[in-house]
Every structure is written in C-alpha cells, then in structure tokens.
Amino acid sequence: MNAMLARSVTALSQALAAKEISSVELTQLYLDRIALHNPSINAFITVDARKSLAQAKAADELRAVGKGGAGAGPLTGIPLAQKDIFCSKGWLTTCGSKMLGNFVSPYDATVIERFNDAGAVMLGKTNMDEFAMGSSNETSYYGAVKNPWDRGRVSGGSSGGSAAAVAARLAPAATGTDTGGSIRQPAALCNLTGLKPTYGVVSRYGMIAFASSLDQAGPMGRTAEDCALLLNTMVGFDPRDSTSVSREKEDYLGMLSARADGKPLTGLKIGLPQEFFGASERTGCTAEVMRLVEEAIAEYRKLGAETVDISLPNMKLSVPAYYVIAPAEASSNLSRFDGVRYGYRAPEYGDLNEMYFRSRAQGFGDEVKRRILIGTYVLSHGYYDAYYLQAQRIRRLIANDFVAAFRQCDVIMGPTSPSTAFSLGEKAADPVQMYLSDIYTIAVNLAGLPGMSIPCGFANSLPAGLQLIGDYFCEAKLLNIAHRYQQATDWHLRYPPEIG
Amino acid sequence: MSLTLEQVRRVAQLARIEISDAEAQTTLGHLNGIFGLIEAMQAVDTRNVEPMAHAQDLAQRLRDDCVTEVNQREAFQAIAPEIEAGLYLVPKVLE
C-alpha cells in the first residue's frame, strides 16, 4: 500500500503544505484505488474523475508558492468522500434511491459549499441506505455496501458507503448523516471514528431530509483529530436552515490536548448507564462487544477518569418513540416526491393521481414505503394523540433523563452497536430486528445530543465501537476524550488485512 | 392492536402509493410487527409531560421579508420529467 494511503487527513494536510505531494497526485492515487476496489465494496455511487481532478488542480494552484499559499487552508487539496444525501451542484445526487436516479442537483448543500470554499476535493458520492432509512446499507437501490473487514458482512447504515470507503482507504475521510445512529453505527462496524454533533450545529440546507427534527450531519474519519479538522469546516450558522444554531465558532482541532504522560484525564467523570451495563440488560448486547467496551472503560480509568453509575430509565422506550417520530416526519418530507418537477416519473399512467401513485410505488423501495405508511398512519385522524403526541412526550422523558445524568457525569459511555457487523441478508427480512440494532444510538438523536463512536478493539477479527455521549454543544470535550484514548491505544490505526 | 388489510390499503391511498393485494398482505405483516414494538409506549403515563417537538426548544427564527433567491428556472426545469414552453407538464386535470 502506498504510504500516503496510511496517512491521516492531518498528516496529508502537512504533506500538501510541504509539497511532498500535489493534490492532483493524491486525488489520482485515491481515484485509482476506487477504480480497483470499489467494484467489490460498492462504497461509491458516483465517481467523476474529471471533476475531482479539476478541483485538485485548482487546490494546487491555490497552494502554489508563487501565490504564497494565501487563501489555502488545512483542507485545501484534501480529497473527501461525500455521502450521496448532500446535494452537490452538477453531481448526480441520488440519496440511494431510484426516485432520484436522474437527479443532477442544481445547487450545493451548505456542507458541500463549505468544503468547496475550504478547497477540499470531492472524491465522489458514497452509497447509503435509501433516504438514509436503514442500518445495513441493504436498502440502497444501488446495491448493498460490503464491509471491507469481511465482504460477506454489512458495513452498517445508513452512512455505510462513507464508512466502507474510509475503512478500505478509498478516501481519507468522509461525511455522514445521523438520524438514529447512521454515523456512529457504521463507524463502529468499520473501525472508524465518527461524530454526530448536537442538533443544529451543522446546517441541514441541501441535505435531503429524512426526519427533520433528528437529522444531523457529521464527520467520519480514522481519528478524532481528523473529525475535529473536518468539523471545523462543517459547523456554523446558516440562515438557510431555520434550525441552525447561532453560536461562537470553536476551533475543535486547536482544542485537542497534546500528548501527556500519567493520568491526563484525572477529574473526568464517566457515566455508565445501568440500562447499558446492568446484568439484566446485557442480553441485548453480545458478550464480546460488552467485553471490549469494558476494556476500553478500564483504559479510561488508567488515564485517570473515574466512573459513576447512572440511570437512563426511559432508554428502552427510545426505539418505539423513534419509530413513530421518524416515520411521521419522513412521510411528510417525502410527500414532495411526486414525479412533477424532478426525480422519477412512471413511464405509463392515465390521470394525474395515477401518475403520483405509480411514480411513488416504482420510485421508492420497500423500507421507504414502509416508513411512509407508518408515518401516514400515526399522523392520521384518530391516531395522532395516541401515537405521535405520546411519542413526543416520551421524547421529553428521554431528554430529561440525560439532563439528570449530566448532573452526575461529564460524558456517558457504552456500546455503539449491540454486535459487530452482521452478515448480509441476516436481518433484511425482519424490520424489527433491524431496528433494534440501533438500540444504543437512537436516544441521543431524540434528545439532540452529540455522540461519537470510536474503535475499541476486535472480536473474531471484526471491529467494535465505544460510544461517547456528551452534553449539548460539548463536541470539543467529546473529541478530546476520544483523542486521549487514541493517544494511548492503536485500535483506530488498524486497517482491513485484505485491503492491500 | 393490529391493523387490518383495509387499513393498510387506506393508508397507502393517503400516501399516494399504488399497492397490489400481494404487497398489501406482506406490508400488513411487517407493519404489525413494527406496531408491536411501538406498543410499549402505550403503558407509559405521560399526563403531565409536555410534548417535545424539537431537540432545541427555540422559537422559530423569522427572516427578513425580502427576496433572497435568484431566478434559476432554466436550471431547475432542465431536470424536470416533462416541460413545455417553461411549464411543467402533467396529465390534464380540468376538462
């Protein structure tokens, strides 16, 4: 493997600044790898070498000595993979659906615009569960993503293409979105570091909507340091997203602590929810994953942190409440796909109604249709109070549990996913089993809190993730806690043995 | 509770999704499984709990009442299924 492929974004940024390599060379290196490995992994839906190389060339010019490098930033010339949920001007933007199989976006999402302004190179659009609805990437119209650690297994979802791309070294880092765990769970299953920020921190403008009160974009990379670097570019107030939060900008990378011996995390209180670790609840998590999570927590104790037992009593209600709220919002958001202005239109129809009915029946896949139907039902006359309002009340109880918990601790830890990567097809026929694979991540979205997953070891050669949950707007603290662990361990540096 | 086949057809009608009898039957099984999961909510007493519609309890921001979008009609219509003379074409609604 070319040594450049082993480097983090932070290291690549230094290599570009030192003129060790040009962005065109680096981008070509990754494009060649994509051409070689993507057919067996299916991490990308769209690659456009001409466009990527044009961006790389512009980045090299920006970094050219003659111009003094003015205007160049740390991401100038860095190739990045973008989840195909972000509208990207002139790029096919499918959201994993047949419905948008011909949708070349006429505009950029704010996230894409920010990366473009930073001089980053778009390496391609990554595969995902259709409209981000799934936990295995098997609902994509463009085929399942294969986990680079074992190609018979899922990469997780819905940001499974981004996760597989970074894990297989087809991209140095990527973006994802997380509505119920879609950054954290694939990060865990592919040995990556992934961060879902506090709701409202990253603009949702141009990010195709699934469940608007839960959706949030974030970085997926090899290290907390790389996630901090990407997050620096992604965050910021955006008047085009009515839920965007206006707050002072932080330098997430600059706030990471330098390496220190001894017990640098002395004073840090880690909350361990009995709902994750209690004897009766453990049945939901495999013994191997639980062992790795406990070993990671032991490592944190060695670094000086102390642990406190906490309780999130309404945790078990998060999956039921989510599967009312998310489908309800989805059914409303996806009503825009009607075959009139853009997207798929059925080839044969009689009247206008038939055009709607057939375009939607043919353009959406089974899981998306299921969720639209659930959402339509729970919002329909006579059921609204019993389902939708009740779910929103439970959402409040869940959020309150976290408020109480953060009075006792600085960060909450537990597993990201109850198991390592499962086999392709294993849960595809049973929606309920699939939904339960997000049991540890969903509550974080309901509360709107930031959450991370970091690599914490291997069970039968498959990676597992440790989840870190922080209080509102504590991204910097979470990244630093993750960074401390990565200074002391090397799980995050491992890459799939088969990927040469 | 469990749904009936008739309710599945009715919901599909509301959602404007064509559904065959066979699909309705499969969907019924899946939806009942999912509602079985959701049912756990119903046992919880939430009488004095304020519904939480949003992660941040913030008031909706209002923008200034001025034009911010530029005209992109041609770019938008370039990706439309069917247009004519700058208009989106759909089957005739009024005779």
In chain B, the N- to C-terminal Cα span, in Å, equals 44
**Distance between CA B82 and CA A338 in Å, rounded?**
13
- Asked if A199 reaches chain B (Cβ–Cβ under 8 Å), the answer is yes
User: Which residues fall within 8 angstroms of residue A415, CB to CB, at 6 or more apart?
Assistant: A276, A285, A289, A290, A293, A440, A464, A465, A466, A467
Cα→Cα distances B57→A398, A441, B48, Å: 15, 21, 18
Cβ contact B37–A432 (<8 Å)? yes
Cβ contact B34–A339 (<8 Å)? no
**Distance between CA A25 and CA A80 in Å, rounded?**
14
Classify A269 as helix, strand or coil: strand
Residues of B in contact with A245 (CB under 8 A): 56, 58
Cβ contact B41–A358 (<8 Å)? no
User: Which residues fall within 8 angstroms of residue A67, CB to CB, at 6 or more apart?
Assistant: A61
* Any domain includes A342: no
* Any domain includes A319: no
Cβ contact B15–A390 (<8 Å)? no
What residues make up the domain containing A72?
Answer: 3-262
Amino acid A500: pLDDT: 61
Q: What is the ipTM of this complex?
A: 0.95
Amino acid A65: pLDDT: 66
Residues 393-412 of A with CB under 8 A from B: 393-397, 399
* Any domain includes A95: yes
Cβ contact B33–A321 (<8 Å)? no
DSSP A82-120: EETTB--TTSB--TT-STTTT-B-SS--HHHHHHHHTT-
- Please give the residue of chain B at the shortest CA–CA distance from A242: B61
- Asked if A167 reaches chain B (Cβ–Cβ under 8 Å), the answer is no
A103, A352, A394: residue with CB nearest B93: A352
- Asked if B17 reaches chain A (Cβ–Cβ under 8 Å), the answer is yes
* Any domain includes B30: yes
B15, B18, B72: residue with CB nearest A331: B15
Query: Residue for token digits 């069970």?
Result: A459
* Any domain includes B27: yes
**Distance between CA A376 and CA A145 in Å, rounded?**
30
Q: b/e for A117-143, b at 16 or more Cβ within 10 A? A: ebbbbbbbbbbbbbbbbbbbbbbbbbe
Q: What are the pLDDT tens digits along chain B (95 aa)?
A: 689 999 999 999 999 999 999 999 999 999 999 999 999 999 999 999 999 988 877 777 888 899 988 899 999 999 999 999 999 999 998 87
Residue A341, φ and ψ in degrees, nearest 5: -95, -30
Amino acid A260: pLDDT: 87
* Any domain includes A490: no
Residues of A in contact with B76 (CB under 8 A): 106, 341-342
Interface contacts A/B by beta carbons within 8 Å: 163
What residues make up the domain containing B13?
Answer: 5-42
- Please give the residue of chain B at the shortest CA–CA distance from A472: B56
Q: Say if CB A86 and CB A206 are below 8 A apart.
A: yes
* Any domain includes A281: no
Q: How far is CA A444 from the centre of its chain?
A: 13
DSSP E strands in A103-170: the ranges are 121-126, 146-147, 150-154
Amino acid A261: pLDDT: 87
* Any domain includes A120: yes
Point out the residues of A that are catalytic: 83, 158, 182
Q: What are the pLDDT tens digits along chain A (500 aa)?
A: 788 999 999 999 999 999 999 999 999 999 999 999 999 999 999 999 999 999 999 999 999 865 556 679 999 999 999 999 999 999 999 999 999 999 999 999 999 999 999 999 999 999 999 999 999 999 999 999 999 999 999 999 999 999 999 999 999 999 999 999 999 999 999 999 999 999 999 999 999 999 999 999 999 999 999 999 999 999 999 999 999 999 999 999 999 998 888 899 999 999 999 999 987 665 689 999 999 999 999 999 999 999 999 999 999 999 999 999 999 999 999 999 999 999 999 999 999 999 999 999 999 999 999 999 999 999 998 899 999 999 999 999 999 999 999 999 999 999 999 999 999 999 988 999 999 989 999 999 999 999 999 999 999 999 999 999 999 999 999 999 999 999 999 999 999 987 76
A345, A393, A396: residue with CB nearest B81: A345
- Asked if B94 reaches chain A (Cβ–Cβ under 8 Å), the answer is no
Q: What is the CATH number of the domain that holds A103?
A: 3.90.1300.10
**Distance between CA A172 and CA A222 in Å, rounded?**
8
* Any domain includes A171: yes
Say how many domains are in chain A: 1
Cβ contact B60–A242 (<8 Å)? yes
DSSP A208-262: --SSTTT--EEEEESSHHHHHHHHHHHBS--TTSTT--------TTTTSPPP-SS
Q: Say if CB B42 and CB B55 are below 8 A apart.
A: no
**Distance between CA A241 and CA A111 in Å, rounded?**
12
Residues of A in contact with B58 (CB under 8 A): 243, 245
- Asked if A357 reaches chain B (Cβ–Cβ under 8 Å), the answer is yes
Q: What is the CATH number of the domain that holds B22?
A: 1.10.20
* A158: nearest Cα among A143, A174, A141, A180: A180
* Any domain includes B48: no
Say how many domains are in chain B: 1
B16, B34, B50: residue with CB nearest A431: B34
* Residue A381 Cα, gap to closest chain B Cα (Å): 11
* B52: nearest Cα among A270, A347, A314, A223: A314
* Residue A356 Cα, gap to closest chain B Cα (Å): 6
Identity of residue A48 = D
* Any domain includes A376: no
Cβ contact A392–B42 (<8 Å)? no
Classify A469 as helix, strand or coil: strand
Cβ contact A320–B33 (<8 Å)? no
Residues of A in contact with B53 (CB under 8 A): 213, 392
